Amino acid sequence: MKMDSETFGIEKGHGQEAIEWLNEEAKKGELKFEARLYGQEIETQNFGTFEMFSWMGDVQVARKLTIKVSKRFKIKVIEGGYKTKEKLLKFGKKQDYGVVRKGDKVIGHLAFTAPMLGGKWQVSEEELR
């Protein structure tokens, strides 16, 4: 399934090297995936600050590579792109959900909101696992 998402993140300070590694891994494996940082950071109360990145390609590849990059650099990552079943539009906002991982372990959950037209994602809820 071809997709894209902007609610994936890499622990602050590791963005550039992690994105380069992700793209290199995808190229080596001839996988349909390309990631790039887009200049937004998200601060969380429980998990620290993340450099957000967007990607295009296969969602399963994106999830697998995100776990691999977390293990490779021993960093926390946000794996986003989880939608609610009830596609509710709350007051003109987009919603998305993500998990915070450290390697294979899910250490928390995040809810994101953004204005429907051209706004940045913000964390609206956090939950420790």
Residue 3 confidence (pLDDT): 67
Residue 118 confidence (pLDDT): 77
What percent helix, strand, coil does the chain show, rounded to 5? 20, 55, 25
Return the higher-pLDDT residue of 1 and 64.
64
Q: What is the pLDDT of residues 13-63, one digit of tens each?
A: 999 999 999 999 999 999 999 999 999 999 999 999 999 999 999 989 999
DSSP assignment of 1-49 equals -EEEEEEEEEETT-HHHHHHHHHHHHHHTT-SEEEEEEEEEEEETTTEE
Residue 121 confidence (pLDDT): 92
pLDDT of 89 > 80? The answer is no
Residue 9 confidence (pLDDT): 97
